[in-house]
Amino acid sequence: MPKSGNQNNDLPGLRIGTVIGIVLAGAVCIAALAVGIARLNLPALRWGAVCLAVFLVASFLLWFIIERHGKLPRGERLSPVMGRIMFDAVVKMSSPVFICGSDERILWYNSAMENLFSGDSKLYGTSVKELFGVTLDNIRQGEDVRISWEGRLFRARYSHIRSEEDDFALILTEDLTETEALRTELAGSEPAVCYIMIDNLAEMVQYDSELYRPASARVDAALRAWADQYNGILREYERDRYLFLTEARVVDAMVAAKFDILDRVRAVKVGESSLPLTISMGVCAVPGTFEEKERAAAAALDLALSRGGDQAVVKRDEGTEFFGGVTRSVQKRTNVQARLVSNELIGQMRAASNVIIMGHRRADFDAFGSAVGIARLAMYCGARVNIAVDLSNRDILGQRRIMESEEDFIGVVISPGEALDLLELGTLVIMTDVSNMANVESLELAQRTDKLAVIDHHRKTAEFDREPDVEYIDSSASSACELIAEMLEQALPREELSAAEASVMLAGIMLDTKQFTKNTGTRTFSAAMFLRDRGADPTEVRELFKESFEEYSGEAKFRRNVEIYRGCCAIAVADADADANPVVAAKAADNLIMVDGMRAAFTLMEMGDSVKISARSAGDLNVQLIMEQMGGGGSFSGAAAVSEGKSVPQLVEELKAAIDKVL
């Protein structure tokens, strides 16, 4: 190989040959001139002069060509050779390579492509779309386009070839079959972290402590047998709390079994109690460090507990999955949590420039009553406070009328638009009776604030995009007003809560417990007793529950079209000409659940371009799981969903499919 890219191996020899040729030709011309001069022969003289001139011109051109040839770029001099080398390399390449014309049909392919298709000569003229299901545009625009054939996986890359006659596409592929198999193997061996907590053992044996040890031992035995089944490591790091370490592929197996450990523990009985023991699980099977996995597993466990327990929450690359949740939450008879949350909330209120409180869209008695309770706590802390509600909402007119007598609440209740104008640096926004951002009174208000607090009794549907500064979600509580009443009892002096404020909060508890007939516990009656002691008037509250004749007759419109599905679920659809009133729909569902044999009731009614679904449970069927499949949420005994762009018959079929899945 020459050391310089401006020379050829044969260039020195060519130059020597050229010099010799020039010398010989020059000698002939000079000889001809000499003969002409010696003989004074004019024709011979002329011929010699012409030959000399031609000789000089030819010599110059020949020398120029030789020098120019020696200065050609290396690529131009080697292009024929390199073309032959590259063609031979492409033909013998181990990965399939093919060339397509502008019509995306195969014009040529190499030996690897021929071997892949077992020598099928029909490849010529076949379109790429027919073979691999992708177009050349897909390959050209995509960064990681995969194609497969006969169990092999390839990454396809596009290269454009331009000629004088037409444009072509050269598709180079890379075999990823073994790489992806190895990747799958490594992903399956990725460590997974799981936290397990026994939900209600302490509450179930509180009156007979002798039952605790045998019950705990039976649950422990069930958990260890389950851990051995999946070849994992189980350690009890605290009373009734476990850490389980395994691999990601094991999590796939547990998901396939729908976490049957929940049923095994539920089968454990404690004494003569009819309530089953339950556990909550938080599982993390996403890539990351052990610290990241541990935090994610702890967050998943918190999510499982905030949804009521008796379920497993699994975090994977595909998203968060929920399993279980078929039993009602057991109320915890402790005020420790309420005291801790109230102290944290008071600290945030005192540090905030102002406080804005809001509930869910179309606020009800519980949303407005709990907002009033939090507003009183903010006033006690000396903070500027406002409650953001839809001022046109007639469902809370009775509560607002009661609050008109309170001087401290003059100008406190404002519209969401006015609340946005009050948003400033340091504003604390508190969401009450709602944890789903899709249902909050003002999503913009929740997103734009620097500080956010959430207090709710509904089961949490998913994690927040941003972590709230204060989060208190207890699905075992009957209502948000119950939670707020417990907090006020711990933090507020007796004389701070007025009778009017206590009355609107009592209305919230009565609404969500259906006049203390559903989802009640010792905490519920304790909160009601606290409010009654602060001056709540049951007679005044009862007046709030009176309905108009239009609402009473509106409930009858649901009874004209009722279907009993699977013998235990009532599905009622309002007449198309019925007035859209979600309160009426909810009351109709409450009445349908009273029919003998009904485990759940659902009412559907059109509201403009959307359809509102209200769901109620008789106590043994979790309607929240059903409504979550419809895009909604709620609690175990009451939930709802709103769907847009779908007809009522279509939603009825989707509702039936959701019921089938839960049943």
> Over pLDDT 70: what percentage of the chain?
81
Mean residue pLDDT of the chain comes to: 81
Angstrom CA distances, 557 to 601, 612, 655, stand at 15, 15, 20
pLDDT confidence band for 174 (50 / 70 / 90): confident
The answer to whether 356 touches 388, Cβ cutoff 8 Å, is yes
Which pLDDT does position 134 carry in this prediction?
84
Any idea which of 441-445, 503-507, 620-624 has the lowest mean pLDDT? 620-624
pTM of the model: 0.61
- Amino acid letter, residue 293: K
Any idea which of 71-80, 159-168, 502-511 has the lowest mean pLDDT? 71-80
pLDDT tens digit sequence for 53-100: 555 555 555 555 555 555 444 444 444 554 566 566 667 777 788 888
Give the chain's count of helices (H) and strands (E). Answer: 25, 23
Which pLDDT does position 77 carry in this prediction?
47
Q: Is the pLDDT of residue 195 over 90?
A: yes
pLDDT confidence band for 37 (50 / 70 / 90): low
Spell out the alpha helix ranges (H) of 173-281: 177-188, 201-204, 212-229, 248-256, 261-266
pLDDT tens digit sequence for 571-592: 998 866 556 677 788 888 888 8
Which pLDDT does position 141 carry in this prediction?
82
Topology, domain 198-324: Alpha-Beta Plaits (3.30.70)
Give the pair of three-digit tokens for residue 313: 């929450």
543, 547, 548, 552 alpha-carbon torsion, rounded to 10°: -150
Which pLDDT does position 3 carry in this prediction?
40
Which pLDDT does position 193 carry in this prediction?
93
Helix (H, G, I), strand (E, B) or coil at 565: strand
Quickly count: other Cβ atoms within 10 Å of residue 393's Cβ: 16
Query: Greater confidence, 550 or 129?
Result: 129
CB-based burial, 223-254: b 16+ in 10 Å, e otherwise? beebbeebebebeeeeebebbbbbbbbbbeeb
Angstrom CA distances, 101 to 96, 115, 174, 544, stand at 17, 22, 21, 77
Q: Measured between alpha carbons, how far is 262 from 325 in angstroms, rounded to an integer?
A: 9
pLDDT confidence band for 330 (50 / 70 / 90): low
Any idea which of 31-45, 161-175, 180-194 has the lowest mean pLDDT? 31-45
Give the pair of three-digit tokens for residue 653: 């079929």
Helix 480-491 and helix 336-351, axial crossing angle in degrees, nearest 10? 80
Query: Greater confidence, 623 or 576?
Result: 623
Quickly count: other Cβ atoms within 10 Å of residue 166's Cβ: 10
Q: Is the pLDDT of residue 27 over 80?
A: no
Helix (H, G, I), strand (E, B) or coil at 641: strand
Quickly count: other Cβ atoms within 10 Å of residue 657's Cβ: 12
pLDDT confidence band for 189 (50 / 70 / 90): confident
The correct CATH number of 92-180 out of 3.40.50.300, 3.30.450.20, 3.40.50.720, 3.30.360.10 is: 3.30.450.20
Architecture of domain 550-662: Roll (3.10)
Which residue, 386, 291, 341, 620, is CA-closest to 489?
341
Kindly provide the residue ranges of all beta strands, DSSP E only, lying in 436-594, ordered along the sequence.
451-456, 470-473, 562-565, 569-573
| Residue in the structure block whose two tokens are 């009775």 | 398
Architecture of domain 336-419+438-445+458-464+475-544: Alpha-Beta Complex (3.90)
Q: Measured between alpha carbons, how far is 616 from 547 in angstroms, rounded to an integer?
A: 20
282, 286, 291, 294 alpha-carbon torsion, rounded to 10°: 10
Provide the 8-state DSSP code for 277: P
The answer to whether 600 touches 615, Cβ cutoff 8 Å, is yes
